[in-house]
Amino acid sequence: MATSRAVAYLESRKNIAGSACGLAGLVLTFTGVAGPYWPVVVVGLYGAGALIAPPEPAPPDFPDPSAQLYELRGDFERLRGYLRDVELSVTAATRLRELSQLLTGLLDKGWAAELLAHDPEGVHVLSRIVRRDLPEAVDSFVRTRWWTRMSPGSDSPELHLERQLGLLKKDAEKLAAGLREVEARRQESHTRYLEDRGGTGGGSIA
């Protein structure tokens, strides 16, 4: 870590500016301007250059997955309030209920949240479902159904919504399966650890 910090400082703007000013001090030394106090001049110019150098650009401070999950829970609650007022077919309502239960489990403040806190891609999948895909599916259904009642068409809006909800459920199930696999690997690793420890441990207690 100390080496990486040293390398980072060598590449920093402060060091580059300080080195340039220090080099100017050496030039003054060789031309006889600095006199016997040339070390002080060189060090002083280096320090002045480092002080006037512009600060290093800081990376943007994006929220971590835990903070994103907190905001996502609030968005999901607002979405559920909207969905409760939408009239759906029996099949669509069943699929929406199953999807909502799965999303609730993934967003719950429990083991899933602990795993998702280290899985930005998983949080992105949930965010995409809650904030874009699911609202768009239901809203487009509501709008299309309104026009279909005025001018009936060949495609049923209900069938499209049912298919979309089924696809979204598959996305959520895939995410849940991935998190389950993480826990399964953790359990397997602990089993191997205990087996290895038992094979190399001391004798039994008399």
Task: Report pLDDT digits (tens) over 133-150.
Answer: 999 999 999 999 888 888
Per-residue pLDDT, 202? 47
Q: How far apart are CA 80 and CA 78, in angstroms?
A: 5
Give every CB contact of residue 185 below 8 A, 6+ residues apart in sequence. none
**Do residues 99 and 170 touch, judged by C-beta distance below 8 A?**
no
* Residue 177, CA distances (Å) to 105, 118, 174 in order: 13, 16, 5
CA distances from 28 to 44, 45, 106, 183, 195 (A): 13, 11, 68, 66, 71
Please give the pLDDT value at position 99: 96
| pLDDT number for residue 40 | 56
Residues of the chain with pLDDT under 70: 1-65, 154, 199-206
Q: pTM of the prediction?
A: 0.65
The structure tokens listed for 103 are 């999303």
pLDDT at 109: 81
